[in-house]
Amino acid sequence: MQVLNTMFASLKSRNFRYFWIGQCVSVMGTWVQRTAQTWLVYQMTKSALLVGVLSAAQFLPILLLTLVAGSLIDRYPKRTILIITQAGFLVLGVIMTILVYAKIVQYWQILLIALSYGVLQSFDTPTRQSFVVELVGHKNLMNGIALNSTIFNLAKIAGPSLAGLLMVKFSVGFCFLVDAVSYLAVLLGLFLIQQKHVVAHPSTQRVWSDIKDGIRYVWQNAEIRLSAELMLIITTLNFNNNVIIPIFAKTVLHSGAQTYANLLSATGIGSLIAAFLMSYLSRFGLQRNIYLMVAVGTAALQAAMIFVRSYDLAIAMMVAIGFCNMIFLNQSNSSFQYDIPSELRGRVMSVYVLLNQGTTPIGSLYVGAIMDIATGLWGFPSCGILALLLLVPVLFKNRQLVGQWLGPKRVEE
């Protein structure tokens, strides 16, 4: 019982419970939509590169807009921003459903919807990340981050599997309908939240000055700066599962939609195990030694995928990769949020989101082009090998700080 109380400490907050449950349903729908959309595009185009272009289109706005969004997030109530973005996602889901059911959907339309989704996500993701502390307080912040991560990994397990089932039993269009309806849950949760003190810091500065303040804070903090450098490599190269897995399933395992969904679910299982582990370990503070190990570990595992030809081994590797990726993101998030001024939280977390998702177009286009030239077998290895090569100079340059992180555990309360 004590272990459960520790793992779920943040859920004692009524507002966080509403937020968390609503997100559970909504993000499940999002993963159903992502799985169906990727499969639909690959079936329409038969091109790994065009699948990569789709992923790039969804995340390109994050690269361009997230830092601006961070300034606005610090100026206005976060709950209001989330209601607007989630309503926007609902509208896009309805449009996509209509296009597919009417059998008039075309590749350019999917790209346009993906771009629109990315614009909303540029504001939604950093807002959600920085909203957690307002719901759980500083004491339970790292536990709240871990449980918030659990949402996405529950969805990563159930979402792709559900999408595979829905595509087989019903249709691809039904997956988009499920996604649209799922946003009603998070909107209901947001309307039920009651905040006594709304955190907003109106600023008379220009937006560009606000952005520079956030970047300056990240750059001048050595530990956050190293986390940013690690994220730039790992999230760009080693978080391209949505692009790689459908092509890997088709060209290496010679299977269809269900195998694709199962591989995605396997990464979700690994991620979920890691999320629960980190929610328990959150009481001990930041786990920087583990952070470094999983950064190198996920790159090494993906490099080793060059030897994987069987379904069972592929599932096991996906579980391991999902485990490493989840711990990496959890500790990156905690590193960015740990002990930062509340008036800078939106801007600092916008840098985190920029690194986490904004660099995805680069990785998506890179790996999509590689697989078009060298087949799906080289998707994971091309990313893993390059990541390992890039990690060497970064870790060497920061060897003194790396030594501190790998040394005796510091107490960070």
Confidence of residue 405 (pLDDT cuts 50, 70, 90): confident
Which range (2-11, 125-134, 380-389) has the least confidence?
A: 2-11
- Residue 169 has a pLDDT of 78
| Mean pLDDT across 234-262 | 84
pLDDT tens, 195-244?
A: 665 555 555 566 667 677 777 887 888 888 898 899 899 988 988 887 88
Report how many domains make up the chain: 1
Confidence of residue 138 (pLDDT cuts 50, 70, 90): low
- Residue 2 has a pLDDT of 52
Burial 67-82 (b: 16+ CB within 10 A, else e): bbbbbbbbbbbbbebb
Asked whether residue 39 is domain-assigned, the answer is yes
C-alpha pair distances (Å), 19 with each of 175, 193, 401: 23, 8, 36
Asked whether residue 207 is domain-assigned, the answer is no
| Mean pLDDT across 388-407 | 90
Asked whether residue 288 is domain-assigned, the answer is yes
Confidence of residue 163 (pLDDT cuts 50, 70, 90): confident
Q: In whole angstroms, what is the distance from residue 212 CA to residue 219 CA?
A: 10
Asked whether residue 111 is domain-assigned, the answer is yes
Output the domain CATH number for residue 78.
1.20.1250.20
Asked whether residue 61 is domain-assigned, the answer is yes
Name every residue whose Cβ is closer than 8 Å to that of residue 169 and which is 6 or more positions away in sequence.
none
pLDDT at 349 over 60: yes
Asked whether residue 35 is domain-assigned, the answer is yes
pLDDT at 55 over 60: yes
Percent of the residues in the chain that have a pLDDT greater than 90, as a whole number: 16
C-alpha pair distances (Å), 409 with each of 288, 371, 394, 404: 8, 42, 22, 9
Confidence of residue 411 (pLDDT cuts 50, 70, 90): very low
DSSP-derived secondary structure for 139-174: TTHHHHHHHHHHHHHHHHHHHHHHHHHHHHHT-HHH
> What type of residue is 284?
F
- Residue 201 has a pLDDT of 52
What are the tokens at 118?
Answer: 């990315």
pLDDT at 141 over 80: no
- Residue 284 has a pLDDT of 64
Alpha-carbon Rg for the chain in angstroms = 20
Which residue range is the domain that position 373 belongs to? 9-190+213-406
Confidence of residue 413 (pLDDT cuts 50, 70, 90): very low
- Residue 307 has a pLDDT of 93
| Mean pLDDT across 277-299 | 80
- Residue 396 has a pLDDT of 93
Asked whether residue 411 is domain-assigned, the answer is no
Q: In whole angstroms, what is the distance from residue 385 CA to residue 352 CA?
A: 24
| Mean pLDDT across 322-348 | 77
Q: In whole angstroms, what is the distance from residue 118 CA to residue 281 CA?
A: 33
Asked whether residue 1 is domain-assigned, the answer is no
- Report the chain's mean pLDDT, rounded to a whole number: 80
Longest alpha-carbon distance in the chain? 61
pLDDT at 392 over 90: yes
- Residue 412 has a pLDDT of 46
- Residue 48 has a pLDDT of 73
pLDDT tens, 79-103?
A: 888 899 999 999 999 998 999 888 8
Measured in degrees and rounded to the nearest 5, phi and psi for residue 287 equal: -110, 75
Cα end-to-end span (Å), the chain: 23
* Selection from 120-124, 193-197, 272-276 with the highest mean pLDDT: 120-124
Query: Half-sphere exposure of 23 toward its Cβ, with a 13 Å CA cutoff?
Result: 22
C-alpha pair distances (Å), 247 with each of 60, 170, 188, 243: 22, 23, 37, 7
When comparing pLDDT for 83 and 172, which is higher? 83
- Residue 304 has a pLDDT of 95
Which range (149-158, 250-259, 277-286) has the least confidence?
A: 149-158
- Residue 88 has a pLDDT of 93
